Structure 1
């Protein structure tokens, strides 16, 4: 199960002194009895020195679609992308080129 919002992280780290490194943050959360999904989210933080709670919260990976089942997520990842990128689409010939072609013998 993935974390859907940052509220559990805020509650776990509300008494942590910043700046703090990733390992210190993870250890602090474990000592405070972090739920498995919160502990996993904190373990996924990039290794860095965090200056504030806001920095930690911006870096915590969240589940962007909590209402989707794992089957739906897998199907979306496997669905082929349709269409072409804008630069791959045939474009309309600019009017000046059309005019130049007409003037050629």
Structure 2
């Protein structure tokens, strides 16, 4: 699970005593906000001990460009000409399906 905004995680972990293990962090998140996106993102942390909130935030999987639609993400992942460039930085052409969805419907006579 990826998050686009880490502020909620920072607020959630504000009262947690550090250093803390991944298990302690996830248990604290589950207690504070069960079932939230922040809790699921913290569950994806690598195993280990964390000395402070900043270390946790650096390890949380984040969405690099939250404004992309799922179709854009798929298109950028599969149609690229620059293999060493990060996916979210690749040029984005509108996928053919998106073009179809944005066309005005034809009027029947």
Structure 1 length normalisation: TM-score?
0.72
Q: Unaligned stretches of 5+ in structure 1?
A: 84-105
CA distance change for structure 1 residues 8 and 82 in 2, over 3 Å: closer, same or farther?
Answer: closer
Q: Does 1:62 align with 2:72?
A: no
**Residue 80 (structure 1) shift:** 3.9
**Residue 81 (structure 1) shift:** 2.3
Q: Unaligned stretches of 5+ in structure 2?
A: 84-109
Aligned length in residues: 83
In proportion to residue count, which structure has more helix? 1
Using CA pairs below 8 Å that are at least 6 residues apart, which structure has the higher relative contact order? 1
- When Rg is computed on C-alpha atoms for both structures, the one with the higher figure is 1
Give yes or no for contact 1:19–1:50 (8 Å, CA) kept in 2: yes
**Residue 82 (structure 1) shift:** 5.3
* Moved segments of 4+, more than 3 Å: none
**Residue 72 (structure 1) shift:** 0.4
Structure 2 length normalisation: TM-score?
0.70
